[in-house]
């Protein structure tokens, strides 16, 4: 039986995807959802929310879900992540702190503080630093710094000043990419983690919303508030493969609007763990799967009932999780109780995320 009981793969000719069988997570957060992350070792999903909580769910093969653990911050949680061995979950947020729950201890309700900044922490990721005998945590904050933490110590091992507030960061292997306000993107080689290997201005002309590393660590994808995504390689020798494209836009309808376009923020980018293809999701409430090497959209999906704020693929790539909730793109006044707060699980089947077959004369 296919995952979630879903039918077999659709034809590769059909580029419109089906969300009718997507399954909602049981007992979702009570406020806006800021991050979703699958465990790298098991079928567990961590969800960070503006209701000051990080929740951990177990997902079964039918798409059913059950809450297994929960810990609280003092303010909204903006990011969450897993350790490589899948035993620890970290939340980071507006209380200027990162907090960690060790699931291997049997604890399911409390977390210890493991990091602190002078302003809210926007993102956190576990990193492997070469020559270090323990996995470390890197945090990026609106205090314009990134900090590295040995979780056995109270003080950071290193702090690196950035040009502006950190809006997004991601890590794969020895590649760490840090995006800040004013469109700066800093590349760090974790063999020398205390300095920037390279700094560029985003190839996109508007504010950076998200950066996500390629699976092989050779580059990264950038999403902006202006409905664009850029594919960027780290090394200059590969710069000819850099490109950007429009996405998450719609033509206005009605008399006199034929030349007007609605432009939406790209809120999330996730790479498929096996195929290397990737997803984008945005404020327009849609998500799409893309093949960067063929410069081709694989699938586009209908509007899901609200902005999509975060996405992630499961470790085997057979589940795509996306959160639907307010993304603050229209300010405080537009956040009403009627807006959805949910996490949906989409079964990835057949050719949905497989790269486009190579044809003669095409890379």
Residue 6 tokens, joined: 């879903």
pLDDT > 90? residue 329? no
Percent of the chain with pLDDT over 90: 81
| pLDDT at 256 (0 to 100) | 62
pLDDT in tens, 26-69: 999 999 999 999 999 999 999 999 999 999 999 998 889 999 99
pLDDT in tens, 256-276: 666 788 999 999 999 999 999
HEC assignment per residue over 198-254: EEEECCCCCCEEEEEECCCCCEEEEEECCCEEEEEECCHHHHHHCEEEECCEEECCC
**Rounded alpha-carbon distances, angstroms, from residue 330 to 264, 265, 317, 334, 339:** 11, 11, 33, 6, 13
pLDDT in tens, 179-215: 999 999 999 999 999 999 999 999 999 999 999 999 9
Whether the CB-CB separation of 82 and 67 falls below 8 Å is answered with no
Residue 166 tokens, joined: 């950190």
Average pLDDT over residues 22-27: 96
Average pLDDT over residues 351-360: 81
Whether the CB-CB separation of 146 and 166 falls below 8 Å is answered with yes
pLDDT in tens, 233-249: 999 999 999 999 999 99
| pLDDT at 91 (0 to 100) | 98
| pLDDT at 284 (0 to 100) | 95
* DSSP structural state of residue 37: E
Percent of the chain with pLDDT over 70: 94
- Nearest one of 2, 232, 40, 210 to 123, comparing CA atoms: 210
pLDDT > 80? residue 178? yes
* DSSP structural state of residue 42: S
pLDDT > 80? residue 321? yes
| pLDDT at 339 (0 to 100) | 84
Instruction: Quickly tell me which residue has 């205390």 as its tokens.
Output: 194
| pLDDT at 258 (0 to 100) | 66
Name the more confident of 106 and 125: 125
pLDDT > 90? residue 252? no
Name the average pLDDT for the chain: 92
Name the more confident of 143 and 252: 143
Q: What is the band of 363 on the pLDDT scale with cuts at 50, 70, 90?
A: very low
Name the more confident of 336 and 6: 336
pLDDT in tens, 275-314: 999 999 999 999 999 999 999 999 999 999 999 999 999 9
Q: What is the band of 331 on the pLDDT scale with cuts at 50, 70, 90?
A: confident
- Nearest one of 303, 306, 229 to 268, comparing CA atoms: 229
pLDDT in tens, 82-96: 999 999 999 999 999
| pLDDT at 275 (0 to 100) | 96
pLDDT > 80? residue 108? yes
């Amino acid at each position: 039986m296919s995952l979630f009981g879903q039918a077999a793969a659709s034809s590769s000719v059909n580029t419109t995807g089906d969300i009718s069988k997507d399954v909602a997570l049981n007992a979702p957060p009570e406020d806006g959802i800021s991050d979703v992350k699958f465990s790298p070792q098991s079928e567990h999903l961590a969800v960070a929310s503006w209701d000051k909580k990080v929740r951990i769910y177990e997902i079964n093969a039918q798409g059913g879900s059950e809450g297994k653990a929960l810990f609280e911050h003092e303010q909204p949680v903006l990011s969450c992540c897993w350790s490589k061995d899948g035993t620890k979950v970290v939340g980071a947020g507006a209380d200027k702190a990162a907090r960690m729950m060790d699931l291997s201890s049997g604890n399911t309700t409390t977390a210890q503080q493991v990091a602190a900044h002078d302003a809210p922490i926007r993102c956190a990721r576990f990193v492997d630093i070469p020559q270090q005998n323990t996995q470390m945590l890197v945090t990026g904050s609106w205090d314009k710094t990134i900090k590295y933490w040995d979780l056995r110590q109270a003080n950071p091992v290193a702090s690196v000043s950035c040009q502006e507030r950190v809006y997004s960061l991601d890590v794969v292997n020895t590649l760490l990419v840090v995006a800040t306000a004013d469109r700066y993107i800093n590349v760090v080689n974790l063999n020398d983690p205390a300095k920037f290997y390279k700094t560029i201005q985003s190839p996109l002309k508007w504010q950076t919303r998200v950066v996500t590393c390629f699976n092989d660590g050779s580059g990264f994808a950038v999403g902006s508030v202006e409905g664009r995504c850029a594919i960027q390689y780290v090394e200059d020798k590969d710069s000819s493969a850099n490109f950007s494209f429009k996405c998450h836009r719609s033509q206005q309808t009605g008399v006199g609007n034929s030349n007007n376009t609605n432009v939406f923020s790209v809120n999330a980018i996730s790479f498929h763990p096996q195929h290397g293809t990737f997803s984008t999701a945005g404020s327009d409430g849609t998500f799409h799967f893309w093949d960067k090497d063929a410069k081709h959209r694989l699938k586009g999906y209908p509007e899901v009932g609200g902005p999509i704020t975060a996405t992630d693929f499961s470790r085997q790539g057979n589940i795509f999780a996306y959160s639907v909730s307010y993304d603050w793109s229209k300010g405080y006044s537009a956040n009403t109780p009627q807006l959805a707060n949910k996490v949906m699980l989409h079964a990835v089947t057949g050719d949905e995320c497989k790269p486009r077959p190579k044809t003669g004369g095409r890379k």
